[in-house]
Structure formats: C-alpha cells, structure tokens
A and B are shown apart, each in its own frame.
Chain A
Amino acid sequence: MKKSEEIKKSIADILELPQDIILDLPKITMVGNLQIYVENHKGILEYSTTRVRIYTKNGVLRIIGKNLILKNIVVEEIVIVGEITHIEFMD
C-alpha cells in the first residue's frame, strides 16, 4: 500500500468514516447465494453464465456460479443474479 493510502486509512479509522468511500473500495452485498451487489466497481472484465470477473480498486473480483445473469449494470453498481458458488479476489 502506498503512503497516501495508509494516511487515508488511518484518517478513516480515527474519524470512523466508512472505508469504502474514503478508500474507494468495492462494497459487496450478497443475498444468500442468489444475488450479489457490487458497488463501486471499475468495469467488467469477463462475463459468461458460469463466471463473471469485475475490476475493482483492490484487484479483480471473480464470481463463479451457474446461470449467472447481469440483472442490472450502471456506473456505480452491478447486480448479478444466479446460483453463486465462489467469490474471490485475485491480483
């Protein structure tokens, strides 16, 4: 992590500000294994019915599952619906 990032993180800690805003990190919300919301993404890298890869600030988010559909896609948010089995961050 860079120096500026560290300062930002410590400021966020002290002031108890939400880290996803200060650090520009993705906020991921899941509803069981049916739905996944990814806020603050940086674009889509790959999309197929079994695998979705999304660019984020701290790497590529990989979602693996079955019958994946991009329910909704806008600048701030992606909603993926389907049967989700794996989620991981890759560099």
Chain B
Amino acid sequence: MLILRLWNYLRGYVIIRVEGLYLEKFINHCIEKGIYLWDIKRVNYTTLEACIGIKGFKDLRRISRKAGCRVYLSKKNGYPFWAHKIKKRKMLLIGAFFSILLLIIASSFIYDVEVIGNQQLAEEPVINYLREIGLKPGANRYRIDLRQLENELMIEFNELAWVGIEIKGIYAKVEVVEKVAPPTKIDKNTPADVVASKQGVIEQVIAKNGDAVVQKGDIVSEGDLLITGIVSREQMKNPLYVHAYGEVFAKTYYESNKSISLVEIKKQRTGEVYNRRRIKLGKLELAIGGNEIPYSDYEVEKSNKTITLWRNIKLPVEIILDTYYEAVEIEEKIELQQAKEIIHQEAIGELMEEIPLEGEIVDTKITFIEEGSTLKGTFIIEVIEDIAKQKQIITGED
C-alpha cells in the first residue's frame, strides 16, 4: 500500500538484522510489547531482516537481551534521517531554495512582446504604446491586467477591430484584427477623375460622365487617367468640372512562377528508435534525461500523457514522450507529368486568390522549362476586369 509506505517513510524506519537462535521468540516479544515489525525476511537459519519504526528500535534492546538475540542496524530509511543529513548541509538546502525561487521569479517576467495579425498597421507603434501602458519586456506578468490593456489598445488605435493579449510563458502574444476600412466615397457633386487601379490593356471604356481619354488597345499602368472630370469644349472659356464615372474594362495579367525539384528526398525509417521524455508543469517544460539524439536524420513523434483527476479536471502536469525514429534519406524521382500537375495546381490556387471575383478569365498561358533536375513553370492568366477607380480632383478654387 502506497499510503502506508509513505507514512512509514515520513515517520522514518530502520532495517535491522537480528541474529540468534530463537528468532520466533524475538518476534513474539515484539508483538507483545506492541512494536510494529514489517517485511520480515529470513536470510538464513540464524539471521532475520525486518523493518521497524524509530521508536520501536529504541525499545528493542531489552527484548533482544530477553530473546538472546543480537540486533544490528543495517540501513536507516525515511524522512527524519534525510532531514538530519540535510541539516548538516544547510547550504545545499539554501541553494535549492534559491534556485527554485530564482526560477519562479525569472518566469514571472515578460521577456518578449510579439504582435501578430497586423497587416496595415505597423508593429512599432503598437509595441511602443504597449510599453507606455505597461506591457514591455521586464514587466511582471502577474501585475498586468490584460483586459484593461486590450481596451486601452482598442481606444488608442482606431484601426483595430479586436485585440487579444495572451501570455504564453514568458512571451506576450498580442493578437490584433484590423478593421476593413470601407472605400472612401466621393460625393456626387465633387469633381472627380477616373483612374486605373491596376496595370492593363484597355478593352472597353464606358464613360457615363466625363470624357474618356483612353481607347481600346491602350496600355495603362496604375494611377493613369482613364476618364477625366475636366470637360473642356471649344465653345467654353473655362473647363467644366464634373463628377466623372464609368466602367473601364481592361485585360490584366496575373503571373506566377513556380519551380519544383524532380528528385524528391524521402525519409525512410530504419527501425532504430530512441525515446526521450519531457515533463510539463503548467507552462514549464523540463527535459528528463537530456541526452543527445543519437541519429543525424530522424523523424519525431510526440505523445503526451496527462493525469486526469476527475472528469475534465486535469492536473497541470503532462508527460511528453518524444519518439525519435532513425531515418535514411532516399531520393525518388517524380514523374514529369505529376510534377507539372503539382506546380500547376499550386500556381492556379495562388493566382485565384489574387483575381477578383468579378473578373472574367479569358486566357491561360502555361510554359514549362526543364533545367537539370528542376522543373520551372510560368503561369499567366489573362483576365478582363473593371479597373476604374474614382479620384477626387483637387482644384485650386476651393
């Protein structure tokens, strides 16, 4: 029984060797006196080994004389002896205490602040602002009110739709989601131009208001004027400023270059296995037996064991078992057709994300070049889409 053993350990016990001819008599005397003996083992005809509590051991002298036996102390066991030993080595205890203290103190500070999820917003102002309001390397993680910081950050930066701050060990992870700003709307009465939002070859211009300045076949680049809002006729002295709008369809090109190695390196397991255990206490990970991995090439498999107390209540102690499989690299040739398909799919998938939904795909051009053991592919997709974008005319009058 574990509890009994633990109790005995805490109380302290000794293993004794009893030598004599009437060992049974010795045992009976012990029982009579109420001395608790356990794990009694006969070593040979005249010798016996048994465990006995510290208190019992002191009373043993009289009994051994009565029973005509000799009692030898063979081993001291348990917490009292250990405590006694440690008392002589106070510095060891102090050192252990301080190292644990140091570990706890050191892990209560934040070492790094990381911002993720920002696209338009630069990381620097966020980090600088966080530093101002308290979240910075060196801050105590228990003193920081994360919800408060999140709110302050939201107030400071209008561009943010959501902020989540999470402290993972010694890292503070600030996750932000930016607002998607609606396109700026230009009032119908303010004069405006229509400019190109991207590069392309003009296919069709439908100017609903204003004068078209490009025609079919023109090559325009981003920002070029397409429909002007400054209308001037021969009869008029001053040009008329109008709110130009319309649709400009242009051929745009989406290009992607991909390459793939025709020789694939695959890992094959040799059957050699090496295990390594790690213990995870809350957020702290400790390696048990930190030997070097004996293989140069290997694959790792992870499995963890948690101790479940009751239903879903788990102890924050986890044992992670890393299994390293020794592996040998094997070169494998990929069929040309298969390689083409792989990069084709990759490129198309990538390009499809770029192409707006309204765009109409007109043509796809694919070229493959084989260079040594690599296959290079160029994928061009031709799309007809509306590239019109309104831009306010800044007139000197207003």
Contact A49 B31 (CB under 8 A): no
Contact A47 B23 (CB under 8 A): yes
Q: Which of A7-65 contact B (CB under 8 A)?
A: 43-49
Residues of B contacting A74 in the complex (Cβ-Cβ under 8 angstroms): 31, 36
Check if B361 is an interface residue, CB within 8 A of chain A. no
Question: CB-defined interface of B31-65 with A at 8 Å, one 1/0 digit per residue?
Answer: 11010111111100100101000000000000000
Check if A73 is an interface residue, CB within 8 A of chain B. yes
Question: CB-defined interface of B180-215 with A at 8 Å, one 1/0 digit per residue?
Answer: 000000000000000000000000000000000000
The A-B contact count (CB < 8 A) is 45
The verdict on A73 contacting B27 (CB below 8 Å), with A47-B40, A49-B42 known, is: yes
- Residue A69 contacts which of B24, B36, B40 (CB distance < 8 angstroms)? B40
Residues of B contacting A48 in the complex (Cβ-Cβ under 8 angstroms): 42, 45
Chain B interface residue bracket vs A: 10 to 19
Check if B275 is an interface residue, CB within 8 A of chain A. no
- Residue B38 contacts which of A43, A46, A72 (CB distance < 8 angstroms)? A72
5 residue pairs A–B, Cβ–Cβ below 8 Å: A44-B31, A70-B40, A71-B39, A73-B40, A74-B31
Residues of A contacting B39 in the complex (Cβ-Cβ under 8 angstroms): 69-71
Q: Which residues of B contact A (CB under 8 A)?
A: 23-24, 27-28, 30-32, 34, 36-42, 45, 48, 50
The residue on B at minimum CB distance from A49 is B42
- Say how far B227's CB is from chain A's closest CB, in angstroms: 97
Residues of B contacting A72 in the complex (Cβ-Cβ under 8 angstroms): 38
A69 to B28, CA, bound (A): 16
A45 to B31, CA, bound (A): 13
Contact B38 A47 (CB under 8 A): no
A79 to B30, CA, bound (A): 15
Contact B38 A71 (CB under 8 A): yes
Residues of A contacting B27 in the complex (Cβ-Cβ under 8 angstroms): 44, 47, 70, 73
Check if A75 is an interface residue, CB within 8 A of chain B. yes
Contact B24 A75 (CB under 8 A): no
Residues of B contacting A43 in the complex (Cβ-Cβ under 8 angstroms): 28, 31
Count residues of chain A with CB under 8 A from any CB of chain B. Answer: 15
Contact B31 A73 (CB under 8 A): yes
Residues of A contacting B24 in the complex (Cβ-Cβ under 8 angstroms): 44-47
Residues of A contacting B45 in the complex (Cβ-Cβ under 8 angstroms): 48
Contact B38 A44 (CB under 8 A): no
Residues of A contacting B36 in the complex (Cβ-Cβ under 8 angstroms): 73-74
The residue on B at minimum CB distance from A42 is B28
A43 to B67, CA, bound (A): 14
The residue on B at minimum CB distance from A54 is B24
- Other A-B pairs beyond A44-B27, A70-B38, 19, CB < 8 Å: A44-B24, A44-B31, A46-B24, A47-B23, A47-B24, A47-B27, A47-B40, A47-B42, A68-B42, A69-B39, A69-B40, A70-B37, A70-B41, A71-B40, A73-B27, A73-B37, A74-B36, A75-B31, A75-B32
Highest count of chain B CB atoms <10 Å: which of A43, A48, A71, A73: A73
A48 to B41, CA, bound (A): 8
Residues of A contacting B50 in the complex (Cβ-Cβ under 8 angstroms): 70
The residue on A at minimum CB distance from B48 is A47
The residue on A at minimum CB distance from B23 is A47
Top 4 A-B pairs, shortest CB-CB distance: A70-B40, A43-B28, A49-B42, A44-B24
A75 to B24, CA, bound (A): 14
- Say how far B308's CB is from chain A's closest CB, in angstroms: 29
Residues of B contacting A70 in the complex (Cβ-Cβ under 8 angstroms): 27, 37-41, 50
The residue on B at minimum CB distance from A43 is B28
The residue on B at minimum CB distance from A68 is B42
- Say how far B26's CB is from chain A's closest CB, in angstroms: 10
Contact B28 A44 (CB under 8 A): yes
- Say how far B16's CB is from chain A's closest CB, in angstroms: 14
Contact A75 B34 (CB under 8 A): yes
- Say how far B28's CB is from chain A's closest CB, in angstroms: 5
Residues of A contacting B34 in the complex (Cβ-Cβ under 8 angstroms): 75
Question: CB-defined interface of A62-91 with B at 8 Å, one 1/0 digit per residue?
Answer: 000000111111110000000000000000
- Say how far B291's CB is from chain A's closest CB, in angstroms: 37
